Amino acid sequence: MVIVNEPSGVQATYLRIAELVQDLHSRSDTDSVTVIAELAEHAAVEVPGAQYAGITVTRNAKQIDTPAATHIYPMLLDKIQQRHQEGPCLTAAWEEKTIHVPDLENDDRFPLYREDALAETPIRSIMAFQLFIAGETMGALNVYSEQPNSFTGESRTIGLVFAAPSSVAWNSARREEQFKQALASRDVIGQAKGMIMERYGVDAVQAFSLLRKLSQDSNVPLVRVADELVAKSEVSDPH
């Protein structure tokens, strides 16, 4: 008989993370909003010491959003980071791979953030892990606790393991979403071109040129011009 050892606690966590990411990849109907919401929920459970989790997204290190959070506290803390343009999650996203705040009351790296965070939330421990997102957007996967010194070396290890595939899963979902949007745009542009060709007796190139000119003259994206033309046609001819 071959005896297979049960995986240790850390190994079991690795397996659960791998299964989560594989599941997200295999579900064709999963959008980026669903992906990041699930990532946040699992991070709050899997990272030792975590009570809450959230994802911070920042564009050009200035505009800060919270697309997923397991509690109101991560959202409040991101609003404070937006207010003062400083904080551990913002720093993790743009400057360092991991930021650990063992006890917010005794951490002087982000003084304005610390003052408001202590006044507006009961959060005392924070650990933020950088997420790599395509384009000019960066992000951080963040875990929080109301108790000081909640996060350990194991928390860091699990968080880093969680953050890497999380970036891949999120980017994959976003690319799939963008691809579907591109297909939809292609279809509506094709419909609008067909309408113009039929109505004015022009070829496809001339029809597209007309669409582009309408877009430029009105300063409206081409796909929206096409969508409006198709919508008006459907209203005037519902059958």
* pLDDT bucket at 6, cuts 50 / 70 / 90: very low
Both 79 and 66 in one domain: the answer is yes
3 lies in some domain: no
User: C-alpha distances in angstroms, 135 versus 42, 60, 88, 118, 139?
Assistant: 26, 10, 21, 33, 11
141 lies in some domain: yes
Both 162 and 60 in one domain: the answer is yes
Both 93 and 47 in one domain: the answer is yes
**Which CATH number fits the domain that encloses residue 225?**
1.10.10.10
User: 215 lies in which domain range?
Assistant: 180-236
Judge whether residue 141 has pLDDT over 50.
Answer: yes
Max mean pLDDT among 2-6, 7-11, 164-168, 177-181 falls in: 164-168
Both 126 and 42 in one domain: the answer is yes
Boundary (domain end) residue, out of 146, 176, 206: 176
2 lies in some domain: no
* pLDDT bucket at 3, cuts 50 / 70 / 90: very low
Q: What token pair was written down for 54?
A: 């959230």
Both 58 and 170 in one domain: the answer is yes
Both 41 and 125 in one domain: the answer is yes
Both 216 and 120 in one domain: the answer is no
Residues 167-206 have pLDDT tens digits of 666 666 565 555 455 556 666 777 888 888 888 888 877 8
**66 three-class SS:** strand
Q: What token pair was written down for 224?
A: 């929206």
* pLDDT bucket at 123, cuts 50 / 70 / 90: very high
For CA atoms 34, 35, 40, 46, the dihedral sign is positive
Both 68 and 119 in one domain: the answer is yes
Both 162 and 121 in one domain: the answer is yes
126 lies in some domain: yes
Average pLDDT (96-100) is: 88
Number of folded domains that form the chain: 2
Which residues lie across from 1 on neighbouring strands? none
CA distance 71 to 116: 18
4 lies in some domain: no
Query: Tokens 């007309």 label which residue?
Result: 210
49 lies in some domain: yes
Which residues lie across from 56 on neighbouring strands? 140
Average pLDDT (135-156) is: 90
194 lies in some domain: yes
Judge whether residue 96 has pLDDT over 50.
Answer: yes
Q: Are 210 and 197 in contact (CB under 8 A)?
A: no
Both 202 and 166 in one domain: the answer is no
Both 119 and 200 in one domain: the answer is no
Residues 41-84 have pLDDT tens digits of 888 888 999 999 998 888 776 789 887 888 999 999 999 999 99
Both 91 and 172 in one domain: the answer is yes
Helices (H), 31-135: 32-46, 72-84, 88-94, 111-120
Our CA angle for 62, 63, 67, nearest 5°, is: 135
Q: What token pair was written down for 211?
A: 């669409």
* pLDDT bucket at 156, cuts 50 / 70 / 90: very high
